[in-house]
Each structure stands twice: as structure tokens, then as C-alpha cells.
């Protein structure tokens, strides 16, 4: 599934990043890398953007970006 | 005296060369506060040439050596994504600082080390400042500093810029790294390390021609950075075989992160989640239900406080300059001819006064904005409101400057500095003059009192919405028309930094510097305009108000405004003064209309000069402005700005002879959309350059004329 579908307060693992190179690179630099963990924290009150936690760092991403981040639940 | 001499000798002993120290770090790691703590009172705040990114610099002396400290804009990496990162990277490559101080948030070591590793490729001696170290201790986290030092082979100093911890140690470390010139280790995982060393070997004989540090080039080739590779290919510096050693940049970054997490496992012990407090606050401030209401309350508070607190002082300053300084300057210059006295009093002192009277407003405003920014709430605000703004192609952060524009356009334009992309900055700057500022309100109040007595609130509200609506249309059209402003050029990635209580002393100092830079830059444009407007308004000297150059000019061009419904020269004559200040429309109208009735003999000549009593009046008013500010605070929820001054029935009656309700509406719309006041213009020039300012002015001329014409013509269909 993609990051938009992530549920509040659950942890996920990144499987793939399907975005243009520059954007993908930026996300990787922020620690959103294949195999890395993402903690979905909340959606903004208006539904976009979302608030995630990566490596102890709080990041906000728009849904348009999230739809390019493929994840699976982290067990 | 003695101290002065001592200082001179100290400077004489300095070696000629000034050592350049660049401060580099992620956004929100407290770099500015750290430089501030290092430099004491020498901090300078300006802009990077040509862009609206703030530049802070300071010179300090350590052991008889002059160091120039430069605060580079915050960066996550040096593969430039934002304008800030480009400035930082270009500075490191072109200016080649002697030392890099890498400021690191001790609470977020993993994230920060990514930049540290990127910096190590520049082959510049480096010092790490583990900032917010006190916070880290509170968070029950431990970092093995010695091990970190050994791994990177550079000095690591625990600091807190806010609390002033570790400042002397940092100075020593900077000094030491300059004299010893030790370079940081460039670390890779084993597999990549072999390739990296091999690339370096191959390139080493062309070292001088590369134009970049050798390790930097080698690392770029390793990660297959197309930009640098094609640049070197053009210079024919790359052998074919070398590119086979490259990996793709995903592998490169992932490998770096693996290495960082393995290093952190060795040196970092966390007993507690450092995010805990921030997450608790966020669960309230970003709450699904309370988040937005709290945001609007917060905006309301900032807006109200900025304008209510500063207003009494703004009024006082303008009274002080015009009615006290101006009056007595003229008194002392009794020997000058009247015309020069009038020029000095009205244009020069008035111009200086109009700049100075902005001090309290800009001061209070900058203070609040820096509190919002430094505390970490600003990015939350952007998070909350982003969806609304994204529908017109902007980021959530743009909302705040736009709202402030309703108070005063000048600080609102300054607030665009905090925006992340150059595109957002520019578009917000072009929108702000359409936000109806509080100086336009008196004009609406006067005209609605004359023509729309029964539903004036509605008319005024519609005007506010009209301005905002046109601004939105404008932004959408601009993005369609100008390719570089296309919608999707800035993906919205926002870091939500931990909440922090910003140090008041630092906030005040920063505010002081920003106010100073406003004065320096705004002054000359404003003065020039004041003299120009004075000249057309007061010359030929002593002519009745219907025969000044302004009146003659207005009479000549008033036909242009016939389609918009106000071709009376008296109305047209207010337009130029409205550029000095929007509320000047009323004063000018009053003057002209009074002049026509032949009672222009105002109290000018009968002014009394009683220095003592006037001075005590100034003191009383100064005291009163504190009381008024305090009472504004207490009466927080009354809407100050809507309170009317006593009505000038005479003026209102005379207005009714000049305008019909429809042409009055058209005139108000024109004033709303017309060229902004000169202070706003000078700030636009300062922030976006002369080209965009001229573009904005031409556009506003077009918009104001066409919209008011449209309204008038459409209205005529209904009225008839």
C-alpha cells in the first residue's frame, strides 16, 4: 500500500519510493529510505498533509508525495 | 580612553588575514543563537545578495586573530533542493571558508550526521558544535563525545547557544582547527570506501583542474551525480572507466544511513524518547478538532497584539516628530524663506517621521513573528492550513503573511522572508498589497458614512473580500503565465521541529537589527517621494489649493477616470498623496474642499511656541501611549480599529456633491486596489528587487482601473 493509506499511530516499513529523482533524493536524505521505518502520527485536520515520524524527526508530507511512497506494516 | 587605546593595539597586533568561519547546520538547530552568543554585540543582519534569504555575520577576535563568522542558511544536504541549500553549497565551494562549524542538534544526532558527512567531503577543517546539549541531558540521552571525536577525527564541543554553554570551548576549538588544519575523516561503508578511494586515485593528477575539492568530486562521481559529471565531461576531465565505479544515489544514501545508524549505536544511549513533550503539545495543537480553532485564535492574538500594542506608540512617534521636532526645527530655522521651511517641515521631517513611526509596529511585529518561528509553532500553522493554500498552488506558510497584510502590508512583506521557496515568497509579496491594510479603513469609513450609512459594515467587509479574491485570482493567473512559477515546482516537505522556548534576549536583539535594516533601506525612497509629493502639492507656493501643480495635473488627467465614475479633479488629486499614506486621501480631500470654500486661513501662522509646555505635553503623551497600549491589552476583545473618530459632517456633506453612491463605491475599490503606500513599495524593492516592484505597480494600476470601471459600468445598468 502507499503512505496515504497508513493508519494513525501505526508503524510501517518503506518498500519503495516511486517519485521523480530529485524528490526521492530529498526524502532519502531525510531518512525515508527503502527498509527504513515510518511512524504515521496523524493527518492534518483538513485531511492533507500528513504528519510522520522518521528517525525521531517529525516531518509533514503532502498526500501527493505520499502516494509515491510504498509501505508495508512493520511487525 | 585607556580601553580605546588598548583595543587599537590589540587590532594592530592582528595578523593581516581574516579567518573565515562558516556555520552550517540543519534548519532549527540554533545556529543564529550560537553565533549571537559567540559574537556578543557584533552581530550584523542583512540579506544574501539578490535574494530574500537573511544573512547574519559577525567579526570576533580570538587570541589576536580576527575571525569572520558567517551564518549559512539551514540545509539538510548539499545537493541543493532549496534556494537556501544552494546558497550554502555555493558559499562552501566558491568562498572556501577556513573552518566549518557544523552545528548539530544533539537531540537529533542521526539526522544531523547526514549533513556532517556531506560537509566532510569539502576538505575544509571542521568543528562540531553539539548544540542544545543541556536539553539532551534533560532528555536523559548520552553521547560519547570522545568516541565521536575519534570516529570523525575532529573537535566536538557540547554547546548551548541559548544558555551560553560551551562558548569559550567552541572558540578554542575553532582556533585550534585553524592552526592545525586537520581535515575530517570521510567515511563510507567498506564496499563504497574502496570505490571512493579508487576514484580519488584516478582523479588525483587532475586535482588542480577540477574546480572543486577532490573528495567532493570523487563522492559526486560515486553517487552518480549527473550535474557534476556532465560538467566535468564538458571539461574533458573524466576517463571513461571512472564512471563504472559509480553506484546510484539511492545506494549511496542508504549506505550512508546504515553507517550513521551503526555509528549512533556505538556512541548514543537514549533512556527516554526525546520527542515526548513535543508530541504531547502536538496532540493538542495539531488535534483533529481543536487544531484549527486554536490556530485561528493564535492568529487573532498575534494580529491584535501587533496592531493594538504598537498603535499608541505609532501615533505618539508621528506626533512627536511632526508636532514637536518639526515645529521647533522650523522655529530654529526662522531665518529661512517660508517655502524652504515648508519643504523641511512637511517633506523632510514628515518623511523621516513616517519612517520612524513604523518602528513600534515593525518592532512589535518582528518580536511576535520570531516567537512563532523560534518556538516551532510556525511550521505547525503551515501544517494545519496547508490544504487551503495548496489549492491555489502555495504552501501553508503563506497564510500568515497574507493575514498580517490586513493589518499593515509592510511587516507582512517582511514576513514572507520566512517562507521556504522563492516562488512562495514572490507570489505572497505580490498578493499582499491587495490585502486591505488598516490605513485604508479610514477612507472606507468616511465614504460609507457619507453614502452607505445603513449598511456600511457590509460594504467594508465586501471590500476586504474583494481584495483577497483578486489576490487569489492573480496568483492563479501568474502561475499559469510565468513558467518559473508553475504549480508543482515546490513539493511541500516540512520539518516540524521540537517545541522550544526562545530566549527573549536573543529575540529582542534580532528584532533590533531587523528594524535598523528597515530604516537604512526604506529611508531614501520614502524621502524622495515625500519631496516629490510636497513639490506638486505646495507649488507654486502660496497658490490657492485649486491651482497647485497637483490640482492642475489632476484637472488635466481627470477625464481618464470618467469610465470609473470619478472624473472630478478633487478626487483624482488624492491619488498621488495616497501613495504617501493611504489615509492621506482624507486629509487631501479636506484641504481641497476647504480651500474651495475660501477659508484656507488655517492656524498655521498663529502657532504658539512654548517649549516647556510643549515638552511636557510630549512627556504626557508618551506616558499616555503606554497606558493606551495597556488598556488595549485589557480590552482585548473589542475591535479597536473599527471604532470611529468623530464625524466631520461638513466634509461628508461636501463629499456628497462630488460623488454619487455608485462612484463612491468605485472610488473606494480604486483606493483598495491602487498602488500601495511608499513604505510598502520601498519594502517591495528591498525584498524582491526593482523589476518585480515595477511589475507589481503596473499590474495594480491596471487592476484598480479596470475593476472600478467594471463595477461602475455594471452598477450604472442597475441604477438606471
CB contact under 8 A, B388 and A46: yes
Chain A residues within 8 A of B388 when measuring between CB atoms = 46
Kindly report, residue by residue over B19-45, the tens digit of the pLDDT: 999 999 998 888 888 998 898 767 777
Search chain B and give the residue with CA nearest A26: B81
By residue count, chain A amounts to 75
Q: Is B246 helix (H, G, I), strand (E, B) or coil?
A: coil
pLDDT in the model for residue B11: 47
Q: DSSP letter at B275?
A: T
CATH class of the region A3-73:
mainly beta
pLDDT in the model for residue B14: 53
Burial A18-34 (b: 16+ CB within 10 A, else e): ebeeeebbbbbbbbbbe
A31 near B CB under 8 A: yes
Picking from B390, B496, B498, the nearest residue to A51 by CB comes out as B496
The residue with greater pLDDT, A23 or B97, is: B97
Q: Which of A24-33, B425-434, B437-446, B584-593 has the lowest mean pLDDT?
A: B584-593
What is the full DSSP assignment across B111-132?
A: HHHHHHHHHHTT---EEEEEES
User: CA B679 to CA B352: how far, in whole Å?
Assistant: 11
Picking from B79, B108, B110, the nearest residue to A25 by CB comes out as B79
pLDDT at B632 over 50: yes
Kindly report, residue by residue over B541-556, the tens digit of the pLDDT: 777 767 788 888 888 8
pLDDT in the model for residue A71: 93
pLDDT in the model for residue B718: 84
Chain B residues within 8 A of A27 when measuring between CB atoms = 493
CA dihedral of residues B525, B531, B534, B535 (deg, nearest 10): -130
pLDDT in the model for residue B20: 93
Search chain A and give the residue with CA nearest B293: A45
B497 near A CB under 8 A: yes
Search chain B and give the residue with CA nearest A8: B288
CA distance A7 to chain B (A): 14
Q: How confident is the model at residue B144 (pLDDT cuts 50, 70, 90)?
A: very high
Chain A residues within 8 A of B254 when measuring between CB atoms = 28, 33-35
pLDDT in the model for residue B576: 85
CB contact under 8 A, A42 and B495: no
pTM of model > 0.90: no
Q: Which residues pair with A42 in a beta bridge?
A: A51
Contacts of B293 (CB under 8 A, 6+ apart): none
Interface test with A, best of B250, B278, B282, B376 (most A CBs within 10 A): B250
Residues 35-74 of A with CB under 8 A from B: 35-36, 41-49, 51, 53, 55-62, 64-65
B257 near A CB under 8 A: yes
pLDDT in the model for residue B21: 94
HSE toward the beta carbon, residue A43, CA cutoff 13 A = 13
Chain B residues within 8 A of A24 when measuring between CB atoms = 250
pLDDT at B378 over 60: yes
User: CA B310 to CA B364: how far, in whole Å?
Assistant: 7
Residue B57 CB burial class (10 angstroms; 0-12, 13-18, ≥19): middle
Search chain A and give the residue with CA nearest B290: A45
CA distance A62 to chain B (A): 6
pLDDT in the model for residue B586: 82
Chain B residues within 8 A of A26 when measuring between CB atoms = 76-77, 81, 491, 493
Chain A residues within 8 A of B383 when measuring between CB atoms = 44, 49, 51, 60
B557 near A CB under 8 A: no
pLDDT at B312 over 70: yes
Interface test with A, best of B420, B494, B498 (most A CBs within 10 A): B494
User: CA B312 to CA B621: how far, in whole Å?
Assistant: 9
Kindly report, residue by residue over B487-503, the tens digit of the pLDDT: 455 567 888 888 888 87
Interface test with B, best of A40, A55, A68, A69 (most B CBs within 10 A): A55
The residue with greater pLDDT, A6 or B720, is: A6
Picking from B107, B388, B492, the nearest residue to A62 by CB comes out as B492
Report chain B's mean pLDDT, rounded to a whole number. Answer: 83
Compute and round to an integer the Cα radius of gyration of chain A. Answer: 11
B493 near A CB under 8 A: yes
- CATH number, domain B1-180: 3.40.50.300
pLDDT in the model for residue B4: 47
> In this prediction, what percent of chain B has a pLDDT beyond 90?
26
Q: Beta strands B54-62 and B141-143: pairing type? A: unpaired
A20 near B CB under 8 A: no
The residue with greater pLDDT, A56 or A41, is: A41
Number of A–B residue contacts, CB under 8 Å: 122
Picking from A26, A34, A43, the nearest residue to B493 by CB comes out as A26
Inter-residue contact B162 to B129 (CB < 8 Å): no
Domain boundaries, chain B: 1-180, 190-272, 292-596+608-717
pLDDT at B270 over 60: yes
CB contact under 8 A, A44 and B387: yes
Helix residue ranges, H only, B416-455: 422-431, 441-451
What is the full DSSP assignment across B590-618?
A: HHHHHHHTT----GGGG----HHHHHHHH
Domain boundaries, chain A: 3-73
User: CA B85 to CA B104: how far, in whole Å?
Assistant: 16
Inter-residue contact B705 to B711 (CB < 8 Å): no
Q: Which of A44-53, B70-79, B357-366 has the lowest mean pLDDT?
A: B357-366
Q: What's the complex ipTM?
A: 0.94
Search chain B and give the residue with CA nearest A23: B491
* Displacement of CA A74 from its chain's centroid (Å): 13
Interface test with B, best of A56, A66, A67 (most B CBs within 10 A): A56
pLDDT in the model for residue B108: 85
Residues 78-137 of B with CB under 8 A from A: 79, 81, 107-108, 110-111, 114
CA B299, B302, B306: angle at the middle one, nearest 5? 145
Chain A residues within 8 A of B249 when measuring between CB atoms = 21, 25, 28
CA distance B136 to chain A (A): 13
Q: Which residues pair with B25 in a beta bridge?
A: B103
Picking from A35, A36, A49, the nearest residue to B383 by CB comes out as A49
B499 near A CB under 8 A: no
User: CA B269 to CA B246: how far, in whole Å?
Assistant: 35
Interface test with B, best of A13, A15, A49 (most B CBs within 10 A): A49
pLDDT at B647 over 70: no
pLDDT at B102 over 90: yes
* Displacement of CA B124 from its chain's centroid (Å): 32
Of the candidates B412, B449, B444, B446, the one whose C-alpha atom is nearest the C-alpha of residue B429 is: B412
Stretch B353-373: mean pLDDT: 80
pLDDT in the model for residue B602: 42
Kindly report, residue by residue over B206-240, the tens digit of the pLDDT: 888 888 999 999 999 998 888 888 888 888 888 77
Amino acid at each position: 500500500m502507499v503512505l496515504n493509506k497508513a493508519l494513525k499511530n501505526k508503524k510501517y516499513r518503506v518498500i519503495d519510493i516511486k517519485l521523480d529523482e530529485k524528490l526521492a533524493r530529498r526524502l532519502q536524505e531525510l531518512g525515508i529510505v527503502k527498509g527504513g521505518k515510518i511512524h504515521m502520527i496523524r493527518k492534518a485536520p483538513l485531511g492533507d498533509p500528513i504528519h510522520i515520524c522518521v528517525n525521531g524527526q517529525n516531518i509533514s508530507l503532502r498526500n501527493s508525495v505520499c502516494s509515491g511512497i510504498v509501505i508495508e506494516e512493520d511487525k | 580612553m585607556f580601553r580605546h587605546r588598548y583595543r587599537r593595539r590589540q587590532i594592530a597586533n592582528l595578523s593581516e588575514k581574516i579567518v573565515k568561519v562558516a556555520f552550517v547546520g540543519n534548519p532549527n538547530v540554533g545556529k543564529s543563537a550560537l553565533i549571537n552568543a559567540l559574537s556578543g554585540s557584533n552581530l550584523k543582519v542583512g540579506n544574501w545578495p539578490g535574494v530574500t534569504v537573511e544573512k547574519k555575520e559577525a567579526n570576533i577576535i580570538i587570541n589576536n586573530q580576527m575571525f569572520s563568522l558567517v551564518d549559512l542558511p539551514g540545509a539538510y544536504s548539499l545537493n541543493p533542493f532549496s534556494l537556501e541549500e544552494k546558497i550554502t553549497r555555493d558559499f562552501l565551494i566558491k568562498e572556501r571558508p577556513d573552518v566549518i562549524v557544523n552545528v548539530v542538534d544533539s537531540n537529533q544526532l542521526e539526522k544531523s550526521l547526514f549533513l556532517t558527512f556531506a560537509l566532510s567531503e569539502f576538505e575544509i577543517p571542521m568543528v562540531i558544535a553539539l548544540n542544545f546539549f543541556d536539553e539532551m541531558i534533560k532528555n536523559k540521552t548520552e553521547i560519547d563525545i570522545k568516541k565521536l571525536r575519534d570516529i570523525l577525527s575532529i573537535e566536538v564541543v557540547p554547546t548551548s547557544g541559548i544558555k551560553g554553554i560551551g562558548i569559550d570551548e567552541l572558540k578554542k576549538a575553532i582556533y585550534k582547527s585553524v592552526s592545525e588544519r586537520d581535515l575530517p575523516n570521510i567515511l563510507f561503508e567498506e564496499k563504497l570506501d574502496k570505490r571512493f578511494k579508487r576514484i580519488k586515485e584516478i582523479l588525483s593528477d587532475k586535482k588542480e583542474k577540477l574546480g572543486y575539492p577532490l573528495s567532493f568530486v570523487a563522492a559526486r562521481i560515486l553517487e552518480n551525480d549527473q550535474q557534476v559529471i556532465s560538467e566535468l565531461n564538458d571539461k574533458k576531465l573524466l576517463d571513461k572507466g571512472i564512471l563504472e565505479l559509480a553506484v546510484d544515489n539511492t545506494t549511496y544514501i542508504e549506505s550512508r544511513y546504515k553507517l550513521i545508524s551503526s555509528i549512533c549505536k556505538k556512541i548514543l544511549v537514549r533512556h527516554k524518547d526525546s520527542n515526548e513533550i513535543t508530541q504531547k503539545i502536538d496532540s493538542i495543537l495539531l488535534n483533529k478538532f481543536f487544531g484549527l480553532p486554536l490556530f485561528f485564535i493564535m492568529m487573532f492574538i498575534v494580529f491584535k497584539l501587533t496592531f493594538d500594542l504598537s498603535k499608541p506608540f505609532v501615533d505618539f512617534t508621528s506626533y512627536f516628530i511632526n508636532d514637536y521636532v518639526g515645529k521647533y526645527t522650523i522655529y530654529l530655522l526662522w531665518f529661512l524663506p517660508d517655502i524652504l521651511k515648508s519643504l523641511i517641515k512637511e517633506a523632510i521631517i514628515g518623511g523621516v517621521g513616517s519612517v520612524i513611526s513604523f518602528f513600534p509596529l515593525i518592532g512589535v511585529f518582528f518580536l511576535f513573528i520570531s516567537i512563532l518561528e523560534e518556538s516551532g509553532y510556525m511550521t505547525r500553522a503551515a501544517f494545519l492550513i496547508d490544504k487551503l493554500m495548496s489549492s491555489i498552488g502555495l504552501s501553508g506558510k503563506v497564510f500568515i503573511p497574507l493575514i498580517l497584510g490586513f493589518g499593515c502590508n509592510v511587516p507582512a512583506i517582511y514576513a514572507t522572508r520566512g517562507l521556504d521557496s522563492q516562488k512562495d515568497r514572490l507570489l505572497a509579496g505580490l498578493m499582499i498589497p491587495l490585502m486591505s491594510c488598516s490605513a485604508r479603513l479610514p477612507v472606507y469609513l468616511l465614504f460609507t458614512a457619507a453614502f452607505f450609512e445603513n449598511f456600511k459594515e457590509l460594504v467594508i467587509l465586501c471590500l476586504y473580500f474583494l481584495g483577497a479574491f483578486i489576490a487569489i485570482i492573480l496568483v492563479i493567473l501568474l502561475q499559469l503565465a510565468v513558467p518559473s512559477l508553475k504549480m508543482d515546482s515546490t513539493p511541500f516537505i516540512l520539518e516540524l521541529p521540537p517545541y522550544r522556548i526562545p530566549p527573549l534576549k536573543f529575540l529582542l536583539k534580532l528584532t533590533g537589527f531587523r528594524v535598523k535594516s528597515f530604516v537604512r533601506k526604506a529611508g531614501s525612497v520614502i524621502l524622495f517621494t515625500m519631496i516629490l509629493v510636497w513639490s506638486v502639492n505646495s507649488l507654486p507656493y502660496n497658490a490657492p489649493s485649486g491651482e497647485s501643480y497637483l490640482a492642475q495635473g489632476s484637472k488635466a488627467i481627470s477625464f481618464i477616470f470618467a469610465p470609473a465614475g470619478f472624473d472630478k479633479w478633487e478626487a483624482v488629486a488624492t491619488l498621488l498623496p495616497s501613495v504617501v499614506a493611504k489615509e492621506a486621501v482624507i486629509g487631501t480631500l479636506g484641504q481641497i474642499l476647504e480651500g474651495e470654500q475660501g477659508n484656507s486661513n488655517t492656524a498655521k501662522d498663529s502657532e504658539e511656541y512654548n517649549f516647556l509646555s510643549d515638552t511636557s505635553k510630549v512627556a504626557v503623551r508618551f506616558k499616555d501611549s503606554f497606558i493606551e497600549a495597556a488598556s488595549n491589552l485589557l480590552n482585548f476583545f473589542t475591535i479597536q480599529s473599527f471604532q470611529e473618530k468623530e464625524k466631520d459632517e461638513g466634509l461628508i456633506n461636501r463629499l456628497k456633491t462630488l460623488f454619487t453612491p455608485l462612484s463612491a463605491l468605485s472610488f473606494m475599490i480604486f483606493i483598495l486596489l491602487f498602488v500601495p503606500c511608499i513604505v510598502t513599495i520601498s519594502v517591495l524593492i528591498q525584498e524582491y528587487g526593482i523589476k518585480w516592484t515595477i511589475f507589481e505597480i503596473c499590474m495594480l494600476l491596471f487592476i484598480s482601473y479596470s475593476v472600478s470601471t467594471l463595477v461602475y459600468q455594471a452598477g450604472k445598468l442597475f441604477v438606471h
